[in-house]
Amino acid sequence: MTTMLGVALTGREVLLVGAGPVAARRLHRFLEDGARVRIVAPELCDDVRDLVERHDLEWTPRAALDSDIDGAWLVHTATGDPRADAAIAAACEQRRVFCVNASDGAHGSARLAAETRSGDVVVGVVSDAGVDPRRAGRLRDAVATLLREGRLPLRRRRATVSGRVDLVGGGPGPTDLMTIRGRRLLAEADVVVADRLGPTDVLDDLDPDVEVIDVGKRPGHHPVPQDEINRILVEHARAGKRVVRLKGGDPFVYGRGGEEVAACLAAGIAVDVVPGLTSVVSVPQSAGIPVTHRGVAAGLHVINGQAETTASAAAVLADPAVTTVVLMGVAGLPRLVETALAAGAPNQRPVAIVENGHTPRQRTTRTTLGSAVADAAAAGVSNPAVIVIGDVAAADLLLPERVRTGDAAR
């Protein structure tokens, strides 16, 4: 029978007997664990030599002696000679030192598990009898996939002294467009402070006892002010909880993520940011609009549609080589159009308004600067929407040349 143990090797001595390709793979792992590694081997393979030089490791260039085991917490033997490895394993047994015998793992006193990690969780797979590395590796990979997708119970069940806050960018909405790290952090969360946009469906996958706090804002309606959101994050983290601030798009693109990070740092709370697909790029992409395109648009300008348009922003609106993407701009569309036209932009400059990008309710209204206000009103355009101003918004931009010249109408 095999009993699995989690062994901390940080700062502890590991003896590596043999220095071939197998030893090279294990040496990487021991170094990642923070072990102090000694190597005894007549020769080093190139990969081991590189690590020895890079990490200034101790190497004794000869065959191993029983006395080399003295002082080691763990021994790994992989000389390529089963009899030599068996002798080292026997010497370790006499000294009560655990030994991984790579020649025949079934005859060593320790085995290295096929490992996968998710945050501070380490999952290992070993065989109880015999050695089958490929089976263990495939099972490890299957577990790793579930961990990455946040489909396994990663939440702590014991209270911690200090909590933390993670700002997670959820992207434009579909859960499969979230990052792996974001899904993992949600699976670990005790409290989720969520907006109304982004991957709200993922909240249904949380444990029933995870506290979900809705702080979503709507145009002209901010039921939970930003100062109160900051207070909520700090309060729950101080209570020792893992807090995820789930946002649509990216936390640092009109998401007030900087303010929330500053509030946590000021309160002495550990905080990190996980980027997400910003709607600046992903929502136009969902409508087949590249925000930059060779020979059409070489630059990108992002505007908050609720803010006043500066003189420099007006000049960019008129630049034919720059795409302007407007977030939160439905209500401010008449002012934006007036500003662009006054700055010299032509009436026929293409405009696309993409509502509910990457959702089943997605709709795109194609128009021009001169007609945008009337067409948006006629279509009943509403938030959430992203407005794209520039030649990249033309409906025929990505069509073959023969279609763009009018053949499609025949």
- The residues carrying an active-site annotation are 195, 217
Which helix (H) or strand (E) element contains residue 53?
A: helix 46-55
Q: Is the dihedral of CA 121, 55, 133, 108 positive or negative?
A: negative
What's CA 348's distance to the chain center, in Å?
40
Q: Are 113 and 127 in contact (CB under 8 A)?
A: no
Residue whose tokens read 């911690």: 160
Report how far residue 213's alpha carbon sits from residue 165's, in angstroms, rounded to the nearest whole number: 14
SS3 category, 387: strand
Report how far residue 357's alpha carbon sits from residue 286's, in angstroms, rounded to the nearest whole number: 6
Closest CA to 368 of 329, 337, 407: 337
Phi/psi for 50 (5° steps) reads -60, -45
Q: Strand pairing partners for 39?
A: 16, 59
Which helix (H) or strand (E) element contains residue 214?
A: strand 211-214
**If you ran DSSP here, which 8-state letter would residue 161 be given?**
S
Q: Which two tokens stand for residue 278?
A: 């910003």
Helix count (H) and strand count (E) of the chain? Answer: 12, 17
Closest CA to 4 of 78, 104, 93, 110: 110
Residue whose tokens read 């006054």: 342
Q: Which two tokens stand for residue 261?
A: 């990070």
Q: Are 249 and 255 in contact (CB under 8 A)?
A: yes
Q: Which two tokens stand for residue 346?
A: 């032509």
E-strand stretches of 48-204: 58-60, 74-77, 98-101, 114-118, 121-125, 164-169, 191-194
Closest CA to 40 of 83, 106, 85: 85
Closest CA to 246 of 160, 185, 304: 185
Please, which residues have CB within 8 angstroms of residue 243's CB and are 6 or more apart in sequence?
163, 164, 165, 166, 189, 190, 191, 192, 193, 233, 236, 237
